[in-house]
Structure 1
């Protein structure tokens, strides 16, 4: 088993400059802020539902005109269904935006696209949650339109930050580096939960106000401080560095049946050499080995992961009767598990130099953790522990696919020399995942309303099983490769 050279003594410090650290932190916190503003909506669902379905008590103390304007829904069940619809609308527009943003990011300046998305999204969130409440203007169509625009704007984030990270961090140690870095989404969830719960007592509109203001400030910092690639300051690119790495022509992702016989024989542009490739089309990116399989798998897995993201605080309040602020803080443990899972599993995949077998084992254990969490007792400590375990086995693989594996796919040997492919591939993987997540959020609200929460968990188990099914060809291929490598090592001893 080869030990990645980046983990050898002294290699890490000599390989990464302070520019790498700054890029890591800026991209990390930029996407954390985007996720924090999304998390705010899920954290205040109970408060919004109460505001949209005033009780008889509210009617007795509020003017008739104000009560009627607030009365969007006759019951909490209908309000909950609409909240699920908003999640679906957001994710569908986010998915469409990802396909577009990946292409745009590979053709325009990544820094400008990311900064624009952060600042404009912050303004939309401010109008959605704060301005409408201050003006007591409640309208279903306005909420839908604002959330469509927000989804499109937020979609600029992930393809851009993954592309920037892919420009700065090469293949060696990518699983561990990206595993740690992909915790940005979970950190954003934690940040959003903390910000929302700290000001929720003053009204849910202040939760939107605080997160939007912080996100807008982050967008300004990104515009003036982010370096898109090492070449901007005269440093060598990651492809030049990877050229000197051992086994650099045997990528973690390839489409060959036998990696020992692998030869790059695919060109994304007919009649031109790979070195001449710049931006590739959406179709060409989809034809790259592994992109379609991982995209379909991520559609199922992101459905489960985002269902926890959108519905976990609501589930805790609805199922156990815990206060909304307490449920927000408790939901943090799912993200803590995801952070640890993504980092540890990424490191293991670096050591093995294979991703799919690590994913397979984690997802098999995820099925057991879902069964355990669905039967969690009415005890906050036990619930938090089971939640963290579930996050480890679901959030970890989700982080790996959306970050390290997307970077592998976007910089595999077949398109080496193309600096304009990573954002497009990332947009395809994450966009397909978001389509699955969008469908899932509406299904979750329907299943919960008609069958109860236990059937929601059965649905999660089914989707996790489908994730394994989609990447099963890659699992078999990479497992066989590991076995051949082990046999060759035994024979050579």
Structure 2
């Protein structure tokens, strides 16, 4: 029963539809990552990121707010705009990661990425409390307020974010590291993606890569194994993100507010762990061993969580 309308035959039908929405969103998001990454390589990262935020806000508004105002309760409406929302939101990860890579060198990248990696968890916490504060006005406002916030911050991004030091007359971090011998180039000079820099008179040793194809990207060392490892990590992460509150309600009969409060601690752990592991990787000078240790500890924590009888 949704807003005095029976959209589903029973609770199982409703759960199946929610699972369908999650699947549609993640499939479109994953496809969109390739598209957004290619766009970020070829166009201004600031513009791609800002436009992605504006489109995300519009899709959120159409999905949850306009449908409520116009009394549109249609499966295809929700699926279509959730799919488009996944495509729009996919612009965030590759564009912001590229901007961070432009500004921060290898020696501090672990801590910086760890701090930036806390932003989704912080956003989850802020979003949960924002929605809770306006939900009593109607579920439409649970979509309207976040959409307005996202659109407003898209404007801030468009007028304030500087994608690269080169845009303000500063040398790129990659250039400094390459010239000082602290870093080997990601692609070697004989790679088909390399072209010599137009500024070769000023920086004769600099080799700047053009945008490369998907097939060329696959041959960069570490891309495939790290991608597979990250896919497995995201499988667990999004299972918790999408389904933990629902699982606690249906399995243990917890109240919705209590389940939401507990799920927030998963994000808190992500914030603390990301910062600490990022800092440790900078200090130790290695990243893969730390990643492996944390991934091995993750199943252990899940088994402990599963094996306990949790009651309120």
1:150 aligns with 2:85: yes
Alignment match, 2:117: 182
Match of 1:249 in 2: 183
Residue 102 to residue 324, structure 1, CA distance change in 2 (3 Å): same
Residue 107 of structure 1 pairs with residue 39 of structure 2: no
Return 291-300 or 347-356, whichever deviates more.
Answer: 347-356
Say whether 1:284 aligns with 2:219.
no
Looking at structure 2, the residues matched to 278 and 272 of structure 1 have their Cα atoms a distance apart, in angstroms, of 7
The DSSP-based 3-state class of the residue aligned with 2:207 is helix
Unaligned runs of 5+ in 1: 1-49, 53-66, 255-263, 381-493
Say whether the 8 Å CA contact 1:194–1:329 is kept in structure 2. Answer: no
Q: Provide the residue aligned with 1:222 in structure 2.
A: 157
Measured in 1, the distance between the counterparts of 2:194 and 2:33 equals: 30
| 2:226 aligned to which of 283, 294, 301 | 294
Q: 1: distance between equivalents of 2:140 and 2:208?
A: 51
Matched residue, 1:369: 301
Cα gap change, 1:360 to 1:276, in 2 (>3 Å) = closer
- Cα pair 2:194 2:210 within 8 Å, conserved: no
For structure 1, which segment, 187-196 or 310-319, has the greater mean C-alpha deviation from structure 2 after superposition? 310-319
Report the CA distance between 1:315 and its aligned residue: 1.6
TM-score (norm 1): 0.58
Larger RCO, structures 1/2 (Cα 8 Å, 6+ apart): 1
CA contact 2:252–2:311 (8 Å) conserved in 1: no
Q: CA deviation at 1:351?
A: 2.1
Q: Which has the higher helix share?
A: 1
1:86 aligns with 2:86: no
- The Cα shift of 1:249 comes to 3.3
Distance 1:271 1:277 in 2: 4
TM-fit CA distance, 1:222 = 0.7
Selected match of 1:267 from 171, 175, 190 = 190
Q: 1:11-30, aligned counterparts within 5 Å? A: none
Quick one: which of 172, 183, 191 aligns to 2:126?
A: 191
Match of 2:247 among 315, 320, 344: 315
Q: Aligned pairs, how many?
A: 303
- 2:200 match: none
Instruction: Within 5 Å, give how 1:377-456 maps onto structure 2.
Output: 377-379=309-311
Q: Hey, what's the Cα distance between the residues in 1 that align with 2:194 and 2:174?
A: 23
Partner of 1:207: 142
CA drift of 1:318 comes to 1.8
For residue 280 of structure 2, what is the aligned residue in structure 1?
348
CA shift at 1:276, angstroms?
Answer: 5.2
The answer for the alignment partner of 1:132 in structure 2 is 67
Q: What's the TM-score once normalised by structure 2's chain length?
A: 0.91
Q: Does 1:328 align with 2:250?
A: no
Distance 2:222 2:171 in 1: 28
The yes-or-no answer on 1:304 pairing with 2:236 is yes
Query: 1:236 aligns to what?
Result: 171
Answer whether contact 2:189 2:207 (CA < 8 A) is retained.
Answer: no
Q: CA 1:377–1:204 in structure 2 vs 1: closer, same or farther (change >3 Å)?
A: farther
Distance of 1:365 and 1:200 partners within structure 2: 37
Query: Unmatched 5+ residue regions in structure 2?
Result: 197-205
Q: How far off its partner does 1:340 sit? A: 0.8
| CA distance in structure 1 between the partners assigned to 2:125 and 2:295 by the alignment | 23
User: In 2 relative to 1, CA 265–125 (structure 1 residues): closer, same or farther, beyond 3 Å?
Assistant: closer
- 249 and 110 in structure 1: CA distance in 2 versus 1, 3 angstrom threshold: closer
Change (3 A) 1:199 1:132: same
